[in-house]
Amino acid sequence: MKPRVLFVGRGRLRLPLAPWLAKKWDAVGAVLDYRVLNAGSGGGDPRFRMLPDAVVAFYSRLPGEIARSLRSFPADAVIASDPYIGTAALVARRLVRSKAKIIVEVHGDPRTFTRGYGSPARRFVSPLSDLVGRHGIRAADATRGLSGFTSSLVEEVRGVPATACFPTYSDLSAFHDPPITPVPDAQRVVFVGALEQYKNVDGLSTAWRRVAGALPQATLVVVGDGSRRHVVDRLVADLPGQVEHHPVLPPERVSAEIDAARALVLPSWPEGLGRVVLEAFARGRTVVATNAGGICDIVTDGRDGILIPIADTDALVLALRRVLEDRELGVRLGVEARATYEPWHQTADDFAAAYLDLVQRVLGGAR
């Protein structure tokens, strides 16, 4: 009999599921009897129940909504996609006197929740947020990390690494499957990600102004949207021939933008893993990224990428100029990047099998 699992997540979903997400959940359904409680919209699939996207509305309703789900679907385990959801699941379990095991996932540093996203006003609730996040990790029956970095965040709180550690599934077929194209002659780099403070969008803007002044033929392509979009809008206005911005692109277009670039640039705070790094590596492109977090689990400085200290604008300028002025460096690092990517490639079935193993171990007493 399949274990019964309730997945609770904050990442926005839309029903009907996109084909790549349907592939993921179909694989999970082959090994687990599951339900999903998630922020999002749409309907028509009884396995999924959607909650409001807004942060306050989502988290304020969560304990009651999880309790309601556990009454209608007596799960063996609840998998919470962040420590705050984990705390809500612990409350809900007590409300309904469920015996479900609570597995809390750590996808990144929980402290960035109030410090790296959206309005600066979030910082006023940082002490409370930190307390709730630490409780969710400490009181969980088990944990899951995405990388050595996120497992170390668990260890800071619990004294032991995460119970399991494996990446979140992403359909990388748009990046893995097409034939690799040569590194271009054009002096072009690409940023792909949320335009939020934790991605150091402001630092990238400052650095690019200096790079653009030194290299008139250089172009920065930005793919993404978020609360720091005005920083990119100003950069486009000031450097119209050297900055392009695409708020949203489908995976195939993102892959094409990576192909057209010498390198991906990712000057963020510590990433939980850095999925976009894997996307770039799959295309045989190197990265200029910060020497922190889960990025270090993937990238080796000087072999397949160029790593710089966090918030070091001077280092970012120098690294970008290196890869833009030396095509052969980009070629050499890109070849190694593709080789690095191969062991990270994961199918939907691989992902589902990792979840099944985690759930079975936790039901057997693993912590």
In Å, how far from its chain's centre is CA 251? 15
Mean pLDDT calculated for residue range 83-96? 96
pTM exceeds 0.75: yes
CA dist 63 to 5, 292, 303, Å?
Answer: 17, 34, 47
- The per-residue pLDDT for range 240-263, each reduced to its tens digit, is 999 999 999 999 999 999 999 999
Q: Specify the pLDDT at position 132.
A: 81
Question: How far is it, in rounded angstroms, from Cα 176 to Cα 213?
Answer: 35
The CATH number linked to 23 is 3.40.50.2000
pLDDT surpassing 60 at residue 220: yes
Q: Specify the pLDDT at position 123.
A: 60
Domain of residue 219, residue span? 173-344
pLDDT surpassing 70 at residue 120: no
Mean pLDDT calculated for residue range 184-210? 96
Q: Specify the pLDDT at position 56.
A: 87
What 8-state DSSP symbol labels residue 108? S
Task: Please indicate, yes or no, whether residues 334 and 355 belong to a single structural domain of this protein.
Answer: no
Range name among 82-86, 103-107, 145-149, 330-334 with the lowest pLDDT average: 145-149
Mean pLDDT calculated for residue range 24-52? 96
Task: Please indicate, yes or no, whether residues 163 and 195 belong to a single structural domain of this protein.
Answer: no
Q: Specify the pLDDT at position 216.
A: 97
Task: Please indicate, yes or no, whether residues 339 and 350 belong to a single structural domain of this protein.
Answer: no
Q: Specify the pLDDT at position 367.
A: 92
Q: Quick check: helix, strand or coil at residue 195? A: coil
Mean pLDDT calculated for residue range 282-305? 95
Task: Please indicate, yes or no, whether residues 231 and 357 belong to a single structural domain of this protein.
Answer: no
Question: How far is it, in rounded angstroms, from Cα 206 to Cα 226?
Answer: 18
Percent of the chain with pLDDT over 70: 95
Question: How far is it, in rounded angstroms, from Cα 200 to Cα 205?
Answer: 9
Q: Specify the pLDDT at position 118.
A: 53
Task: Please indicate, yes or no, whether residues 50 and 181 belong to a single structural domain of this protein.
Answer: no
pLDDT surpassing 60 at residue 129: yes
Helix ranges (DSSP H) in the chain: 19-31, 55-72, 83-96, 126-139, 148-158, 173-176, 201-214, 229-238, 251-259, 275-282, 295-298, 313-325, 327-341, 348-363
- The per-residue pLDDT for range 170-186, each reduced to its tens digit, is 888 889 999 999 999 99
Q: Specify the pLDDT at position 18.
A: 87
Half-sphere exposure of 362 (CA within 13 A, CB side): 27
Cβ partners under 8 Å of residue 208, min gap 6: 220, 235, 239, 242, 243, 320
Q: What are phi and psi of 345, to 5 degrees?
A: -65, 130
Question: How far is it, in rounded angstroms, from Cα 333 to Cα 302?
Answer: 7
Mean pLDDT calculated for residue range 100-109? 93
Structural domain tally of the chain? 2
- The per-residue pLDDT for range 318-339, each reduced to its tens digit, is 999 999 999 999 999 999 999 9
pLDDT band at 19 (very low <50, low <70, confident <90, very high): confident
Residue 249 token pair:
């692109």
Question: How far is it, in rounded angstroms, from Cα 106 to Cα 294?
Answer: 12
pLDDT surpassing 70 at residue 119: no
Task: Please indicate, yes or no, whether residues 51 and 181 belong to a single structural domain of this protein.
Answer: no
Task: Please indicate, yes or no, whether residues 216 and 334 belong to a single structural domain of this protein.
Answer: yes
Residue 319 token pair:
């690294």
Mean pLDDT calculated for residue range 122-138? 77
pLDDT band at 199 (very low <50, low <70, confident <90, very high): very high
Task: Please indicate, yes or no, whether residues 293 and 263 belong to a single structural domain of this protein.
Answer: yes
Task: Please indicate, yes or no, whether residues 184 and 119 belong to a single structural domain of this protein.
Answer: no
Task: Please indicate, yes or no, whether residues 114 and 219 belong to a single structural domain of this protein.
Answer: no
> Please, what is the average pLDDT of the chain?
93
Question: How far is it, in rounded angstroms, from Cα 51 to Cα 39?
Answer: 5
Q: Quick check: helix, strand or coil at residue 99? A: coil
- Number of neighbouring beta carbons within 10 Å of residue 201: 26
Find residue 189's DSSP bridge partners.
220, 263
Q: How much helix, strand and coil, in percent to the nearest 5, is found in the chain? A: 50, 20, 30
Residue 139 token pair:
């009181």
Percent of the chain with pLDDT over 90: 81
Task: Please indicate, yes or no, whether residues 9 and 135 belong to a single structural domain of this protein.
Answer: yes
Q: Quick check: helix, strand or coil at residue 243? A: strand
Task: Please indicate, yes or no, whether residues 213 and 325 belong to a single structural domain of this protein.
Answer: yes
Find residue 105's DSSP bridge partners.
144
Q: What are phi and psi of 204, to 5 degrees?
A: -65, -40
